[in-house]
């Protein structure tokens, strides 16, 4: 299901389990650039990348089949290889796919339904498996996704897309749509043209899994402490795992370098051949990730040089201020686009937001500059002017597209009133919402902590200017999401929501957020109810009614149209989609494209951001710290 | 204050043993007052509470004087591209908060929230506790069993989960829940506090009634045919004033802390209602207090002083009302 997972807990909860966004990077954000050597000269090989996190917060026990945490995907980038993969670099270039296990990009049949890959030879699993990776190992990963017992958390990207995949199969069974005619060939048969299928093949769940080990873990999450490397790094101590022991013995003896409550230590995989990989640089000899619940301590250690980099925790205010105001420290603060949009969502079924002119008026009145300040300022994100973060559209639609532009993005009463006057809720034509029953006592759901609570007075004040009186209701993160994702609550407006990509295709925004297929009674992510019909309400039991005479706009056909395309036409289709949603549907006030902040020490000599995962690129950064691998563990 | 003679100003500890000429009838109130005023700490507490009440009442005047409303937004200060609260200045005596609002004005307004909880929520708790405690103690039997078990159940409810759950349930509609009776915010928080603190008073009252109901004056009232209600609230209640006053006063500070804790956790009190607990929670967001110390210091000090004052007064009252206490 497309559940809570990809929603963003955001900046302040990043260390918690709900910060499950798979975010990415970019150079569009203000502040230091996405990829900058912080010292002169060539990056050197060697040393250990030392970093720490307040808590891992894994959603699937670090089992690649299940794991839905962006941070885990960062680690997999160093451990696992897919048929196609990223260069694990920053900016829009980081979203480009290249053959990785495959010799070249696939042969795609003219009807777009058959993808054929050939595998490189000489690529082996890490210890203790030590054998060549075959097409069957990749097919096995899909069979595992298809096994209902394995608990794949994003199986919906494959179920119904690859022939024979439903996610409902009991046990490991061959998938009819995946052929492995020989050890180096794999063929996928799709049910319909799927323009972003290659992105789905770059997801960690589809990386090869050796049956020798994974057979012992038939249920979700179990394989997480036994992940066998197919890439440049492996969990320290992997060679000590005995394949001759029985499964009941094996489950008791996880690989020593990984303890979810303490640490993850990655060391070089002796079976990895750099000659087979032109995507990763692999400068460091090892990666040492420690759990340290004290976030201030992590940043103090980075400042003292005993850690080379922070990881996913946002820096405390005082730390951040030091790095922003001290010119000698500023180069060590990295602010990269998280490919995440924060927005105010309005419900198309509830007055006064069932009138598109009111929704447009709201877009004009909100002081986005003040909301950005409430987050702390531009270092935390760029003001959003439309749905998709620009990097998702390869910068084909940037912030220069701004259908609700106001001077300084501070909101405009005149423009808002002009829209309000067109609405049926302004019979007096005074630019204010006049009908008391529709315009007052409107529940607005929000989170009960900063920066959301900081934004609240601003939004309340702005909406009051056009006669909309909201009643804020503050809840903790999970309760706020549950309140708005239960359709029968029919929440008119909410301030708590954000969305991050899984992979850099706008489909990962469009379908869950605006597709009628996403409309379910509990766990709905289409909060605005775009495309809802009486038939869907009845079929799904949504518990809402469509106001008399209202025709709810739908974007289903647009989504289907874009999803059937590939390449440049696909990109243009999504640009048109974004514009259509912003001007014709107007379900949101998008206000921030958020950044992820990382602070590094001078010992980190080359900084690179991994756009796919949204964190430091483990395979592209370099350190100069003379730490030896033998001192770890 | 019905009795005439004020205690003689010279009546100090040294005089107590000495038999003086005119025998002055000293009512219980006289005795209490003479003891209470000699407790300097309790007096100081009472004065502080008095000042706080005055401050809470004149809060709008204070806001007018400094020219900042409690919810007025002012610009933040910029430090190398990051927006931060402004520090204390001649315009903002206690500095500004994360929205640029005046911490001084909000702290003064916060006294209102705390005092509402102190008096309204505790008052409700007291009324429920006294009524149910008296009924349980007076009737005994199955009525006592039911009420006592209810007390046990309430005291074993997971309080914070309950509060968060209620706030969530009441947040999905504009009218709140229970037909608009409970609105997220001050009324919900007060309701939760009353719901969870009445058993403390109830238990004490029940215990007192159990011993009082065997006394002769109650039996006399029975013999004269007085109704149960009259005995409970006409005869028993006046004898319960001392413990009720003492325990209520002692529950007040814990309830103020309770409100602050609930607000700190974000259970319901909205941004627009200044509350010390909420202000403290704002200060801790992303370790903001390490920079904006004023956001934590001022509401923290007020919270400390207020609870301290109520505790001192409560202790003083207990000492002064307890007949077994030494007659200082």
Looking at residue B176, what DSSP letter applies? Answer: -
> Would you state the pLDDT for residue B4?
44
Is there a contact between B82 and A321 if contact means CB atoms under 8 Å apart?
A: yes
pLDDT at residue A152 in the model: 86
pLDDT in tens, B79-94: 877 888 999 998 889 9
> Rounded to an integer, what distance in angstroms lies between the CA atom of residue A419 and that of residue A421?
5
Please report which confidence band the pLDDT of residue A180 belongs to, taking 50, 70 and 90 as the band edges: very high
For residues B132 and B144, what is the distance between their CA atoms, to the nearest angstrom?
9
Tens digits of residue pLDDT in B44-93:
999 999 999 999 999 999 999 988 888 888 888 888 778 889 999 988 89
φ, ψ at B57 (rounded to 5°): -70, -40
Q: Do residues A490 and A350 lie in contact, with contact meaning Cβ atoms separated by under 8 Å?
A: yes
State the alpha helices, DSSP H only, in chain B.
13-16, 28-38, 40-57, 59-66, 103-116, 122-139, 141-156, 159-169, 186-212, 216-223, 228-230, 237-264, 276-284, 293-321
Q: What is the pLDDT of residues A430-448, one digit of tens each?
A: 999 999 999 999 999 998 8
A441 contacts B167? CB cut-off 8 A = no
How far apart are the C-alpha atoms of A593 and A29, rounded to whole Å?
9
**What pLDDT digit, counting tens, does each position of A3-58 carry?**
333 444 333 333 322 233 333 333 333 334 444 444 445 788 999 999 999 999 88
Higher per-residue confidence, B9 vs A483 = A483
- What is the CATH number that goes with domain B44-325? 1.10.3720.10
Matching residue, tokens 């927006």: B83
pLDDT at A38: 46
CA-to-CA separations, A438 to A350, A434, A435, A470, A488, in angstroms, rounded: 8, 8, 6, 11, 18
Residue B97's nearest CA partner among B291, B260, B266, B267 is B291
Q: What are the sequence ranges of the domains in chain B?
A: 44-325
Chain B residues in contact with A470 by the CB 8 A cut-off are none
Residue A565, pLDDT score: 87
- Do B165 and B195 touch, CB atoms closer than 8 A? no
pLDDT value of residue B318: 85
Ramachandran angles phi, psi of A152, nearest 5°: -55, 130
- Probe site for chain B from A317, A490, A494 (most B CB atoms < 10 A): A317
Q: Nearest by CB to B171, from A316, A330, A475: name it.
A: A475
Residues of chain A with Cβ-Cβ distance to B285 below 8 Å are: 12, 449-451, 453-454
Q: Is the pLDDT assigned to residue A151 strictly greater than 70? A: yes
Beta-carbon contacts of residue B127 (< 8 Å; ≥ 6 apart): none
Per-residue confidence (pLDDT) for residue A474, from 0 to 100: 87
CA distance A12 to A452: 10
Total residue count of chain B as it appears in this document: 328
| Average pLDDT across chain B, whole number | 85
Task: Please say whether the beta carbons of B35 and B328 come within 8 A.
Answer: yes
Determine, for residues A317 and B164 on separate chains, whether the beta-carbon distance falls below 8 Å: no
Task: Give the torsion sign (CA, A33, A25, A394, A382).
Answer: negative
In this prediction, residue B268 has a pLDDT band, given cuts at 50, 70 and 90, of: low
β-strands A604-610, A442-447 pairing: unpaired
Please tell me the distance from the alpha carbon of residue B48 to that of residue A231, in angstroms, as a whole number. Answer: 69
State the Cα–Cα distance between residues B289 and A20, nearest whole angstrom: 27
Residue ranges matching CATH 3.40.190.10 in chain A: 31-292+596-631
Mean pLDDT for chain A?
Answer: 90
Cβ–Cβ below 8 Å for A448 and B288: no
For chain B, percent of residues with pLDDT exceeding 70: 91
Mean pLDDT of B253-270: 83
pLDDT at B279 over 50: yes
Chain A partners within 8 Å of B167 (Cβ): 475
- Give B82's contacts in chain A (Cβ within 8 Å): 317, 320-321, 324, 376-377, 379
What pLDDT shows up at residue B19? Answer: 53
Query: Measuring CA to CA, how many Å separate B284 from each of A317, B75, B113, B261?
Result: 10, 20, 20, 13
Distance from CA of A362 to the nearest CA of B (A): 20
Nearest CA in chain A to B70: A457
> Which residues in chain B touch residue A473, judged by CB atoms under 8 angstroms apart?
171-172, 184, 270
Identify from B162, B171, B281, B290 which residue to disrupt to test chain A contact, counting A C-beta atoms within 10 A and taking the largest count: B171
- Considering only CB atoms, B291 lies closest to which of A317, A379, A453, namely A317
Question: Residues near A389 by Cβ (< 8 Å), separated by ≥ 6?
Answer: A26, A337, A338, A339, A340, A341, A501, A593
Using pLDDT thresholds of 50, 70 and 90, give the confidence band for residue B20: low
Whether the CB-CB separation of A384 and A578 falls below 8 Å is answered with no
**Separation of alpha carbons A316 and A177, rounded Å:** 50
Of A184, A173, A162, A176, give the one whose Cα is nearest residue A115. A162
What are the angstrom distances between the C-alpha of B256 and each of A97, B2, B303? 59, 33, 8
Sign of the torsion formed by the C-alpha atoms of A239, A243, A245 and A249: positive
Share of chain A above pLDDT 70, in %: 94
- The count of other CB atoms within 10 Å of the CB of residue A40 is 6
Q: How many angstroms from the chain centroid is the CA of residue A204?
A: 13
Q: Which candidate, A483, A495, A431, places its Cα nearest to that of A457? A: A495
- Whether residue B76 contacts residue A373, with contact meaning beta carbons closer than 8 Å, is answered with yes
CA distances from B67 to A20, A345, A385, A464 (A): 45, 35, 36, 22
Q: Strand locations in A169-306, DSSP E? A: 178-182, 185-189, 233-235, 258-259, 263-268, 286-291
Enter the DSSP assignment of A29.
S
ipTM of the complex: 0.78
Alpha-carbon span A167 to A146, nearest angstrom: 4
Interchain pair A457, B270: CB under 8 A: no
Q: Count CB neighbours of A548 within 10 A.
A: 5
Can you spell out the DSSP letters for A403-471? TT--GGGS--HHHHHHHHHTSTT-TT-SSS---HHHHSSEEEEEESSTTHHHHHHHHHHHHHHTT--EE
Tell the CATH topology of A339-594: Dipeptide-binding Protein; domain 3 (3.10.105)
Q: A327-385, pLDDT tens digit by residue?
A: 999 999 999 999 999 999 999 999 999 999 999 999 999 999 999 999 988 999 999 99
Give A480's Cβ-side CA count (13 Å radius): 29
Question: Any idea how long chain A is?
Answer: 633
Tens of pLDDT, residues B198-244: 999 999 999 999 999 888 998 899 899 889 989 988 888 888 888 89
pLDDT at A26: 32
Residues facing A607 on adjacent strands: A36
Residue B18, pLDDT score: 52
Closest C-alpha to A345, from A530, A589, A510, A521: A589
pLDDT confidence of residue B175 = 73
- DSSP symbols for A556-607: HHHHHHHHT--HHHHHHHHHHHHHHIIIII--EEEEEEEEEEEEB-TTEEEE
The DSSP letter of residue B232 is I
Residue B20 preceded by cis peptide, ω within 30: no
Q: Name every chain B residue with its beta carbon within 8 A of the beta carbon of A30.
A: 81
Provide the β-strand partners of residue A179. A187
Q: Which of chain B's residues have a Cβ under 8 Å away from the Cβ of A486? A: 172
Output the pLDDT for position B202: 94
Residue A490 phi, psi dihedral angles, 5° rounding: 50, 50
Of A273, A267, A260, the closest CA to residue A240 belongs to A267
Q: What H or E segment, with its residue span, contains residue A357?
A: helix A356-365
A106 vs A43, more confident: A106
Q: Most A CBs within 10 Å: which of B168, B172, B265, B288, as the mutation test of the A interface?
A: B172
DSSP-derived secondary structure for A270-294: TT--GGG-SS-----SEEEEEE-S-
The CATH number of the domain covering residues in A31-292+596-631: 3.40.190.10
For the segment A238-251, what is each residue's pLDDT rounded down to a tens digit? 999 999 999 999 99
A426 confidence band (pLDDT: 50, 70, 90):
very high
Assigned token pair, A57 = 């917060």
CA–CA separation, A371 and A387 (whole Å) = 17
Smallest CA–CA distance, residue A265 to chain B, in Å, is 28
Cα distance between residue A251 and residue A535, in whole Å: 49
Q: Which residues of B58-93 are buried (b: 16+ CB within 10 A; e: fewer)?
A: ebeebbeeeebebbebeebeebbbbbbbbbbeeebe
């Amino acid at each position: 299901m497309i559940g809570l997972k990809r929603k963003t807990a955001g900046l302040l909860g990043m260390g918690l389990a709900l910060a499950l966004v798979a975010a990415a990077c970019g150079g569009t954000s203000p502040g230091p650039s996405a990829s900058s050597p912080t010292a002169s000269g060539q990056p050197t090989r060697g040393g250990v990348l030392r970093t720490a996190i307040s808590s891992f917060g894994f959603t699937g026990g670090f089992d690649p089949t299940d794991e839905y945490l962006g941070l885990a995907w960062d680690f997999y980038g160093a451990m696992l290889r897919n048929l196609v993969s990223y260069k694990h670099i920053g900016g829009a270039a980081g979203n480009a796919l290249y053959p990785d296990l495959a010799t070249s990009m696939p042969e795609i049949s003219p009807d777009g339904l058959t993808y054929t890959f050939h595998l490189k030879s000489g690529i082996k699993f890490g210890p203790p498996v030590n054998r060549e990776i075959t097409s069957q190992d990749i097919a096995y990963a899909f069979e595992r996704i298809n096994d209902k017992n394995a608990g794949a958390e994003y199986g919906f990207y494959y179920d119904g897309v690859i022939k024979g995949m439903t996610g409902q199969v009991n046990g490991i069974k061959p998938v009819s749509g995946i052929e492995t005619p020989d050890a180096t060939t794999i063929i996928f048969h799709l049910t319909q043209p799927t323009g972003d299928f290659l992105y789905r093949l770059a997801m960690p769940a589809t990386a090869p899994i050796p049956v020798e080990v994974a057979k012992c873990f038939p249920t979700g999450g179990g394989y997480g402490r036994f992940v066998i490397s197919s890439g440049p790094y492996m969990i320290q101590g992997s060679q000590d795992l005995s394949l001759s022991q029985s499964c009941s013995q094996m489950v008791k003896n996880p690989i020593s370098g990984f303890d979810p409550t303490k640490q993850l230590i990655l060391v070089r995989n002796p079976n990895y051949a750099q000659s087979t990989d032109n995507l990763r640089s692999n400068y460091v000899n090892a990666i040492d990730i420690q759990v340290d619940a004290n976030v201030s301590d992590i940043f103090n250690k980075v400042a003292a040089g005993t850690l080379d980099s922070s990881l996913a925790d946002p820096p405390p205010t005082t730390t951040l201020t030091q790095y922003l105001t001290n010119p000698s420290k500023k180069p060590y603060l990295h602010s990269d686009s998280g490919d995440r949009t924060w927005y105010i969502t309005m419900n198309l079924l509830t007055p006064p937001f069932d009138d598109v002119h009111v929704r447009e008026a709201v877009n004009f009145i909100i002081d986005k500059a003040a909301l950005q300040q409430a987050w702390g300022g531009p270092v935390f994100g760029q003001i959003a002017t439309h749905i998709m973060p620009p990097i998702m559209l390869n910068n084909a639609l940037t912030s220069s597209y701004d259908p609700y532009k106001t001077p300084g993005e501070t909101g405009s009463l005149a423009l808002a009133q002009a829209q309000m006057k067109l609405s049926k809720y302004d019979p007096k034509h005074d630019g204010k919402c006049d009908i008391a029953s529709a315009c007052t006592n409107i529940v607005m759901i929000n989170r009960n902590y900063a920066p959301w609570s900081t934004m609240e007075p601003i939004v309340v004040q702005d909406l009051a200017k056009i006669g909309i009186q909201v009643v804020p209701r503050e809840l903790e993160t999970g309760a706020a999401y549950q309140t708005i994702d239960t359709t029968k609550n029919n929440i008119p407006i909410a301030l708590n929501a954000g969305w991050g990509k899984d992979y850099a295709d706008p489909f990962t925004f469009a379908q869950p957020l605006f597709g009628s297929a996403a409309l379910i009674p509990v766990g709905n992510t289409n909060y605005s109810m775009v495309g809802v019909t009486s038939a869907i309400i009845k079929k799904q039991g949504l518990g809402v009614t469509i106001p008399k005479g209202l025709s709810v706009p739908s974007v289903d056909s647009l989504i289907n149209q874009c999803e059937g395309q590939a390449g440049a036409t696909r990109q243009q289709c999504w640009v048109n989609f974004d514009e259509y949603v912003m001007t014709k549907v107007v379900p949101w006030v998008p206000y921030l494209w958020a950044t992820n902040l990382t602070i590094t020490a001078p010992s980190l000599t080359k900084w690179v951001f991994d756009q796919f995962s949204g964190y430091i690129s483990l395979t592209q950064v370099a350190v100069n710290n003379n730490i030896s691998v033998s001192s770890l563990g | 204050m019905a009795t005439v003679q004020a205690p003689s100003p010279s009546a100090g500890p040294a005089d107590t043993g000495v038999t003086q000429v005119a025998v002055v009838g000293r009512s219980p109130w006289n005795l209490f007052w003479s003891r209470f005023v000699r407790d300097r700490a309790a007096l100081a507490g009472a004065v502080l509470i008095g000042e706080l009440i005055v401050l809470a009442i004149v809060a709008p005047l204070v806001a007018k004087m400094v020219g900042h409303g409690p919810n007025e937004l002012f610009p933040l200060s910029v430090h190398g591209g990051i927006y931060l609260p402004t520090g204390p200045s001649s315009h903002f005596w206690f500095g500004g908060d994360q929205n640029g609002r005046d911490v001084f004005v909000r702290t003064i307004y916060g006294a209102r929230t705390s005092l509402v909880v102190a008096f309204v929520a505790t008052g409700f708790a007291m009324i429920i506790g006294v009524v149910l405690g008296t009924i349980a103690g007076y009737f005994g039997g199955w009525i006592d069993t039911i009420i006592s078990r209810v007390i046990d159940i309430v005291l074993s409810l997971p309080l914070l989960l309950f509060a968060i759950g209620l706030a969530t349930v009441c947040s999905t509609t504009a009218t709140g829940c229970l037909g608009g009776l409970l609105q997220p915010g001050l009324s919900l928080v007060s309701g939760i506090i009353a719901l969870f603190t009445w058993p403390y008073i109830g238990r004490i009252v029940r215990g007192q009634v159990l011993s009082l109901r065997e006394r002769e004056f109650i039996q006399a009232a029975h013999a004269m045919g007085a109704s149960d209600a009259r005995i409970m609230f006409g005869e028993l209640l006046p004898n319960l004033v001392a413990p009720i006053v003492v325990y209520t006063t002692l529950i007040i500070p814990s309830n103020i802390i309770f409100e602050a804790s609930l607000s700190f956790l974000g259970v319901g009190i909205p941004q627009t209602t200044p509350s010390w607990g909420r202000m403290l929670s704002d200060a801790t967001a992303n370790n903001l207090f390490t920079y904006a110390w004023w956001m934590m210091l001022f509401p923290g000090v007020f919270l400390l002083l207020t609870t301290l004052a109520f505790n001192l007064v409560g202790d003083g009252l207990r000492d002064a009302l307890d007949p077994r206490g030494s007659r200082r």
